[in-house]
Amino acid sequence: MIPDAALILAAGGSGTRYGGNKLFALLCNVPVVIHSVRKLGSLFPEECRIMAVPEALEKDFAEMLQQYAPEIPFRLVRGGSSRTESVQNALAAVPEHVRYIAIHDAARPLAPAELLYSVLAAARETGGAIPGRAVMDTLKRVNSDHLTEETISRDRVYAVETPQCFEIARLQEAFRRCPDSLTDDAGTMEAAGFPVQIVSNPGFNLKLTCQEDLVLLEKLLQLQENNRKIL
């Protein structure tokens, strides 16, 4: 157990690109969101597990959690119209004694406990930390006609992942300074002038975006499980 931190599972997305709520899709015979519940939820005290979900699906999420992970209960809060609003709603449910928050996209079922521990350790030093992988591909900027305009340097460029960990007081102050919605909470911290450290993640942490991702995720989960058995 991590006594001074809480976990927010961001599960309030609309699933527009996926064509439905992707968190209910079965992955290795259990819903996608349950993988994060099992891997990360048990690291936190019961009162420090919070999930932001769409209001219309709150009952469905509650029933799914009871069916697949009754031993790891989560408090459900209503997601907002944006990621920022959903996270803020979840932060309001965090117990007052908690100092750090870990925010994880529930559509990333591969993130292991070891990754969360590493990112949280970095956040304890700097106030904020995120996992990521250095970009290896060549990057191009294109115009509105999808014609290439320039090659972007990939030097010191990372693809950002979750869980992202922050000192709660700093994150709340960042939301006050920069209320506009951004694509991730680290962006809000940066915009507010707070440092955020990148933690290089050597493992796979693919986010489920389209239905084709399910095939790859299933293979990666099986590989992850086989590696754990070997270790």
Contact 5, 44 (CB under 8 A): yes
Encode pLDDT of 163-213 as tens digits. Answer: 999 999 999 999 999 988 788 999 999 999 999 999 999 999 999 998 899
Residue 119 token pair: 């990112």
| Residue with tokens 């697949």, as numbered in its chain | 68
Report field, pTM of the whole predicted structure over 0.85:
yes
Diameter of the chain measured on Cα atoms: 53
Encode pLDDT of 133-148 as tens digits. Answer: 999 999 999 999 999 9
CA separation for the pair 72, 182 (Å, rounded): 30
Please say whether the dihedral angle defined by the alpha carbons of residues 51, 209, 111 and 65, taken in this order, is positive or negative. Answer: positive
- The structural domains of the chain, ordered by start, are 5-230 (3.90.550.10)
24-31: average pLDDT:
95
